[in-house]
Each structure stands twice: as C-alpha cells, then as structure tokens.
Structure 1
Amino acid sequence: MAGEAQGSNWPLPKLYFTVHLGSQDNEASFQEVSGLDIEPQVIEYRHNDSVKFSTIDMPGITKKGNVTLKKGLFINDINFRKWYDAIKMNTIKKETVIIQLLDEAGSLVMTWTLDNAWSTKVTATDMKSDANEVAVETLELRHEGLTIKNG
C-alpha cells in the first residue's frame, strides 16, 4: 500500500541489455528486442469411454514466434544484410544468439539463448521527409529453441 516501507525486491528495468550474434565477441547494440515467447500447442483428447462431454487438454509441440531486433542504421553497417544474404537454397547460416538482461550495475540478471537462429527478414527504415527520427532497421530471426536462465 501507499506510504508503507518497500522491500528491496523490485521488478527489473528492461533498458540495459546486450545481444551476441553467433559468438561472445560479436556483440551488437540494439534499440529493441521483442518476440521472446514460446507456448505449447494444445492437444485435445477425449477417452472413448468418458462419460463427460468434454476433452482433456494436454501440452503438445512447442510453438515459437519470430524474434525481432531493431537497431539504428549506420553508414557502412551491412551485417544484417550479409547474414540474410548467406541464405541460399538449402544453405542457411544458423547461429546461436544470446540476449542478456543486465541490472543497473551491469551485472548479468537473465539470459535468453536462441538455438540455431537464422535471419528470415531484414526491413530497411521507412523514410519521411517531415520526420525527426533516427533511421531504424529491423531483423527478424527464426530459431529452433529458446532457453531462459536466471543469473
């Protein structure tokens, strides 16, 4: 309640994070990361001799969405396009992508690891003659698994 003493357990701010594309040495700065979600597909099952007229719900195969990375556009920075251009028929350059959330002191708090991630879409910035905004490009990744670890 308002006015009561607060404990030291606060939600984490989400503004301080790092992204490693492929290796710990290949760190990139991003404005936004979204799509870190997984959910099991629901399997509905009904016993043949069940007296209930309803199904039993069970978890099935895990469904994953695309992870979206957004960053400012810089002169001669073509890393997104180079990764996307590595996709050819039957050839995909898959990488491990590590996203780390840091606390205010820069200490590691949580890690999301995307296994066998590959670039599915690169979107260039939109352009408006009356805008006063930074040019931002977007990279969408598909992956084969998401692991979440604390600390």
Structure 2
Amino acid sequence: MAANGATQDNVWPLPKFYFKVKLGSQDNTVSFQEISGLETETQVIEYRHGDSKQFSTIKMPGIAKTGNVTLKKGVFVKDNNFFKWYDAIKMNTIKRETVTIQLLDEGGKSTMTWTLINAWPTKISSLDLKSDANEVAIETLELAHEGITIANG
C-alpha cells in the first residue's frame, strides 16, 4: 500500500523534467534547462562526558549548512537580467531574492516546492564560443542562499 490508500499499481515516481522557477516575490518565472545543488546537510557534533558508562561518543545534530544551487539556461537576445542582478552586489550591496523551484505533475500542478531563502548570485558563467559547434548557447547562474525549505503539494 502506498500513501493515501493508493495501491502500488497506480503510483509512479514523478519525472524530473517538468519544473518552473520563480525569482523574487513577483511572478517572475524564468525557464531553466537544468538545476542542481538542491541539498542541505547537518554537521555532526560528537560528545562524550567523562563518567559515561559507554566507551563511545554520542552524535548530536549541529549547524545546518547548504551548498550553492546552480541553474543553467539558454541565452536569449537582449536578456541580461542575471548580469544586472549580479552587478547589484558589486558595490557592497546585495539584492537578496526568494527563489522558488517547483516540480510539476502532468497537469502543471506543483507536487514539490523548494524555496531558497535570501538567495543572491555568486557566479555567472557565460557560454564558450566555438566556430564549429552545433549547440544552444547556455549560461550558468550560481546562487548562494541562507536556507532551503521543502514542501509537498
């Protein structure tokens, strides 16, 4: 039996190719080709008090840390919004945004949502140019953030 009383015959894992990304609080949806780095990790603290009857340590959760999230998208004519956002941090001012990434089902409804809190661009990689290439021009945006929340539905 799977969740919600459904049998395993009609429950399938979700494909990962149908998603959307919103940058900022307004409905600014941006199309991306690939997203990676949606991860969080808790550091382990080991402790043992001197009169413990066990000759081993206790492991406790410590500080949570998150890695940077990498987003890749095609380059479009007259679209330099990421460079404008990146330029905003050069004068020791950081424009932080909430970034929402939603995995969608076949009907376009959100099934899982990752929210990056206070995200800002740390790196932008432009495309490489090659005279005999037969590829789409892709740029990469790397975001640092102060936490990630994950919600279903």
Q: Same fold (TM over 0.5)?
A: yes
CA drift of 1:55 comes to: 1.5
Deviation at residue 90 of structure 1 after TM alignment: 3.3
RMSD over aligned Cα, in angstroms?
A: 1.5
Deviation at 1:6, TM superposition (A): 5.9
**Corresponding residue number in structure 1 for 2:19:** 17
1:149 maps to a residue whose letter is A
Q: Which amino acid aligns with 2:11?
A: N
Q: Aligned pair count?
A: 147
Where in structure 2 are there 5+ consecutive unaligned residues? 1-6
Q: Kindly state the Cα deviation for residue 50 of structure 1 after the two structures are TM-superposed.
A: 2.2
Distance 2:89 2:128 in 1: 24
Please give the per-residue CA displacement for 1:63-85, whole angstroms capped at 9, x wherever unaligned: 10000110001111101101100
Which residues of 2 match residues 61-140 of structure 1 at below 5 A? 61-140=63-142
Gaps of 5+ in 1: none
In terms of mean alpha carbon deviation, does 5-14 or 139-148 score higher?
5-14
Instruction: Report the CA distance shift for 1:81/1:56 in structure 2 as closer, same or farther (over 3 A).
Output: same
What is the TM-score when the length of structure 1 is the normalising length?
Answer: 0.92
Indicate the residue corresponding to 1:145 in structure 2.
Answer: 147
Per-residue deviation, residues 69-124 of structure 1 (Å, max 9, x unmatched): 10001111101101100003431000000101101111111111111001110000
- Residue in 2 aligned with 1:42? 44
Question: What SS is found at the alignment partner of 2:9?
Answer: coil
How far, CA to CA, are the matches of 1:128 and 1:50 in structure 2?
Answer: 65
Secondary structure, aligned partner of 2:71: strand
Q: Percent identity, aligned pairs only?
A: 72
Q: TM-score, normalised by structure 2?
A: 0.90
For residue 43 of structure 1, what is the amino acid of its counterpart?
A: I
